Structure 1
């Protein structure tokens, strides 16, 4: 298989993986929230007795298998960041399942996630064995990350938090 075809297959399998994980997360979250029993063991037993829970576990397994298969065709530096699409996919799926609209704040978070994903994929390439950042490059990345975190942390806090 030529490298371009392998990359396309890796991306497609990564998208299938993210979709499987997102569907499973939404299903498991809704099932857990709807559980009538709230004490630890009873709630767990109740969930384990439901076929829907096991269907969600199957979606998680399918997502994991697609992820591993994607790693066969593409580098970790491509496949792993695409896993973050699980967060973006779960947002509208969860809202749809709850019969509500996605809020502007949630969309903004999804857009920041996508921007980070695009940035990460743009700066990473196929990693050659033994390839690593130099000390100087590592320090620049660490400093830029620290500055970004500080800038975001100093911004407006969500209502209700102090």
Structure 2
């Protein structure tokens, strides 16, 4: 198995803090949701954050839990996951499924358009971004670490 060229420990801690920020955001405490997806796009001069809360009955509503603190942590994650001499990712997708306490993070290195939502693709893309339960071993490790921290 190849050893990652980036700081795995720092990246893992930052990912755990992202889960804390999402679940702990008082502005969204009263919002009914079963899952959330956040997408952060990073360009040379700015960052853009958008997201959706999803319910198990098929509903969704836009929202950005975590605010500026979450955006700051995502930027720290970008730094922590960039190997020396390599390019950083352009887009990050964060998904959390509340019932399973499943927190996953995916990166896009090539195109900032990968998860872009436009008026023309709104309904389709929002559903594509809906978190799906999975059995990914990395997600399982993150879920256990985050759940242990969140409940203690």
Taking structure 2 as the reference length, the TM-score comes to: 0.33
Higher alpha-carbon Rg: 1
Taking structure 1 as the reference length, the TM-score comes to: 0.31
Instruction: Tell me which protein shows more helix as a share of its residues.
Output: 1
Instruction: Tell me which protein shows more strand as a share of its residues.
Output: 2
